[in-house]
Amino acid sequence: MSSQPNQIVKIQQTTGPKARIHPKAAKTRNPKRTLRRIWRYMEQHKAGLVLSSIFVVISSLLSLLGPYFIGVIIDHFIIPKDLDGTIRMCGLLLGIYFATSVFTWLQAYIMVNLSVKTIGTLREDLFKKLQTLSLQFFDRNKDGELMSRFTNDIENLNQALSQSVIQIISSILTVTGVTIAMFSLNWVLAIVSCLTIPLMLYVTKKIVTASRENFAKRQKDVGEVNGFIEEAISGSEVISLFGKEEKSYSQFHEVNERLRNSAMRADMFSGFLGPTNNFISNIGLGLVIGVGAIMALNGHVTIGVIASFITYSRQFSRPINQMSTLLNSIQAALAGAERVFETMDEVPDLQDRKNAVSVTHFKGDIEFSNVHFSYEPNKPILKNIHFHADAGNMIALVGPTGSGKTTIINLLLRFYDIQAGEIKIDGENLKNYRIRDLRRRIGIVLQDPYLFSGTIMENIRYGRLDATDEEVISAAKTASAHQFIKYMPKQYQTEITAGGANLSQGQKQLLSIARAILADADILILDEATSNIDTRTEVQIQKGLSNLTKGKTSFVIAHRLKTIEKADKIIVIKDGEIIEQGTHHELLNERGFYQSLHVKQFEI
Ligand SMILES: Nc1ncnc2c1ncn2[C@@H]1O[C@H](COP(=O)(O)OP(=O)(O)OP(=O)(O)O)[C@@H](O)[C@H]1O
């Protein structure tokens, strides 16, 4: 079978080491709507939000008191040489700084808590939604992109909720508060303090713009390196098999080199920002000290006020420096959230009909009448498929690769809806059944079944979660899997690595048969193994399969004609059309395509 419901998802690039400048975030189309939806998630934690906002206001106000008190200490206690008073005031100052830290910590603690909870719910909702979407949706959307909804997009939102939003509020409060404090202390020095701000804004904008391009390039290169590593890991067997290690290494060296260069440029550019703004802020400081000194000499201002200004101007430049990065990270978060909500709003292509029938058992009478189907518009895959399977029959699907065998199975499982014709099970249109029930009553044994990391017992139990250990073992015995399991180091408790890497192809298939026996489905789909399996295992598999399919309707996607000679009906498909159908002997007598396939296989 070429397509499987559980597709392997690629992990796309993550953001890598935290950059101070993000690549330019995509614009949100409807920020208000996105914000409203984020709010719906957050409002469940209203109390925390209110408390955190109060703490931000308190910590911002407290941080304004510090510089003011420094001035007061100098003018009223140090200059008049009041040692006791100075010590008392320094204690008070220390208390203020301590309280500021406590409130900042409390506010951060609440916000991180709140954001982790919000993001957790959002992630769960997104995952639930993905479970409801059809294979068509997964065909349309790249795995890596869907994966990045869970990683980059949700992480950006987490970052924004837990840090950026509060930082922006606190920055705005600080800048406003500092401006008011400075103007109320001395308007001339306040204007001097503000002189360098336009220059700082201009330089920040220039550096951020230049850096963004380099960060975007770096992010793209990180993606390429990740993709390359991922491919090299999953294709490691093929790489060694063809002796392509050297080539693989030199290709990696190339992409890695590109990443090194772009990362260096990006970090160098963004590294300019801090020192340059520091330099400008120091010029501002110099101006304040110079003008302040002249004013002090003329008796217009006290030394304490100059000291307060020096501290205030430091508090002033930090938020301005951070603002563009914060705004950008919020923009990135909104764009990510919008993509997450878009996925959540996706209307499933396949849904239960209003009065869908619940079903607990199928007799297994199946009919395809004039079925037409295409995955993409104007690219017909199945044309006029017409056949009938009596309950309990074994139907073999035969045909060249890409002829449409798997597609027929995908339609029977209703992974896709047909464009014309009708598919009936037990005389009822497939679309009238509840999708969940329908799929539950159909069992699948794939040639390369997916095994999860866990014990053999757990993997078989996946077929029916409420099965007892005895039932699992009995299913394994019927599947002829028990023989190999009992020789495993810990028998049924033996751990299987993800994907079943520590098992042979045949053993994996035996477990998959046991799983299907446990599930006790009414209709079975068997994707016959193509790989070479030793004769003993092969015999066991055949025995397991015949136990599994006894009395049930089964579809076998056959690669070796030998195994389907006993089928009640063989359907030969070529280019999406049924070209022959009948029993093995009927088809041999027809001397058509099947017969030529037969001759070819036995010639080899
Ligand atoms: N999800 C998909 N989207 C678009 N085209 C698809 C999709 N899955 C299969 N196809 C195309 O449909 C055609 C039939 O594929 P299908 O997997 O049914 O063939 P098959 O007979 O099972 O082949 P094989 O024996 O190699 O598994 C092929 O041309 C294939 O490229």
Q: Looking at the CA of residue 404, tell me the nearest atom of ligand 1.
A: 18
User: 44 and 122: one domain?
Assistant: yes
The alpha carbon of 560 and the centre of ligand 1 are apart by a number of angstroms equal to: 19
Residue 391 scores a pLDDT above 70: yes
For ligand 1, mutation pick of 406, 447, 574, 578 (most atoms within 8 Å of CB): 406
CA–centroid distance, residue 520 to ligand 1 (Å) = 28
* pLDDT value at residue 449: 76
147 versus 382: the higher-pLDDT residue is: 382
* Nearest residue by C-alpha to atom 5 in ligand 1: 375
User: Which of 318-322, 346-350, 567-571 has maximum average pLDDT?
Assistant: 567-571
Mutate to test the pocket of ligand 1, among 349, 381, 385 (most ligand atoms within 8 A of CB): 381
Spacing, Cα 6 to ligand 1 middle (Å)? 16
Assess whether 194 and 162 both reside in one domain.
Answer: no
CA of 404 to the centre of ligand 1 (A): 6
For residue 385, the CA-to-ligand 1 centroid distance in Å is: 15
Distance of CA 303 from the midpoint of ligand 1 (Å): 82
Instruction: Give percent of the chain above pLDDT 70.
Output: 91
b/e for 440-469, b at 16 or more Cβ within 10 A?
A: ebbbbbbbbbbbeeebbbbbbbbbbeebee
Is 466 in the same domain as 599? yes
Residue 11 lies in a domain: no
Question: Which of 143, 371, 374, 375 for a ligand 1 pocket mutation test, highest count of atoms within 8 Å of Cβ?
Answer: 375
Reported as half-sphere exposure (CB side, CA atoms, 13 A), residue 246 has a value of 1
- Average pLDDT over every residue of 40-50: 88
For residue 139, the ligand 1 atom closest to its alpha carbon is 1
d(CA 22, CA 73): 42
Q: How far is the CA of 438 from the centre of ligand 1 (A)?
A: 22
- Assess whether 437 and 581 both reside in one domain: yes
Residue 567: what pLDDT?
Answer: 85
* pLDDT tens-digit series, residues 512-546: 888 888 888 899 888 865 555 666 777 777 788 88
pLDDT at 16: 34
Q: How many domains does the chain have?
A: 3
Whether 357 is in a domain gets the answer: no
Mean pLDDT of 149-165: 81
Q: Are 547 and 477 in contact (CB under 8 A)?
A: no
Q: Please write the tens of the pLDDT for every residue from 174-213.
A: 889 999 999 999 999 999 988 888 888 888 888 877 777 7
Say yes or no: 132 and 278 in one domain. Answer: no
User: Model confidence over 399-413: pLDDT tens digits?
Assistant: 888 888 889 998 998
The pLDDT assigned to 2 comes to: 38
Rounded to the nearest angstrom, the distance between the alpha carbon of 2 and the centre of ligand 1 is: 6
Query: Is 81 part of any domain?
Result: yes
Q: Do 114 and 44 lie in a common domain? A: yes
Angle between helices 187-194 and 303-345 (to 10 degrees): 50
* 8 Å CB contact between 159 and 333: yes
CA 441 to centroid of ligand 1, rounded, Å: 24
Pocket of ligand 1 (CB under 6 A): 1-3, 139, 375-376, 381, 399, 401-407
Is the pLDDT at 3 greater than 60? The verdict is no
- Given a cut of 90, whether residue 73 has pLDDT beyond it is yes
Nearest ligand 1 atom, CA 399: 21
Angle at 298 (CA atoms; ends 296, 299), nearest 5 degrees: 60
**pLDDT tens by residue, 457-513:** 988 888 888 888 898 998 888 888 888 888 888 888 888 876 667 788 888 888 888
Ligand 1: residue whose CA is nearest its atom 19: 402
Regarding whether 257 and 233 lie in a shared domain, the answer is yes
Whether 252 is in a domain gets the answer: yes
Give the CATH number for residue 89.
1.20.1560.10
Which pTM does this prediction carry?
0.66
Whether residues 489 and 536 fall in one domain = yes
What ligand 1 atom has the least distance to the C-alpha of 135? 1
Q: Is residue 308 part of a domain?
A: no
pLDDT at 367: 92
> Looking at the domain assignment, is residue 352 inside a domain?
no
Q: Are residues 100 and 119 in the same domain?
A: yes
Q: Does 63 reside within a domain?
A: yes
Average pLDDT, the chain: 83
Which residues of 412-452 form beta strands (DSSP E)?
Answer: 420-425, 428-429, 442-445
Give the pLDDT score at 183.
92
Provide φ and ψ at 394, rounded to 5°.
-105, 120
Asked whether 362 and 523 are in contact (CB, 8 A), the reply is yes
Atom 26, ligand 1: residue with shortest CA distance? 401
Averaged pLDDT for residues 540-563 = 81
Question: 10 Å Cβ neighbour count for 127?
Answer: 11
pLDDT value at residue 237? 67
Same domain, 372 and 461: yes
> From the CA of 4, how far away is ligand 1's center (Å)?
11
Contact yes or no for 369/377 (Cβ under 8 A): no
Domain range spanning residue 293? 187-300
ipTM here: 0.97
Task: Give the confidence band of 371 by pLDDT, cuts at 50, 70, 90.
Answer: very high
- Residue at 18 is within a domain: no
Question: Which pLDDT value is given to residue 11?
Answer: 27
Please tell me the least confidently modeled range out of 160-164, 337-341, 380-384.
Answer: 160-164
Pocket test for ligand 1, best of 407, 411, 448 (most atoms within 8 A of CB): 407
Provide the CATH number for the domain around residue 372.
3.40.50.300
With a cut of 90, say whether residue 291 has pLDDT above it: yes
Same domain, 233 and 273: yes
> Are residues 565 and 481 part of one domain?
yes
Report the 3 state secondary structure along 218-240.
Answer: HHHHHHHHHHHHHHHHHCHHHHH
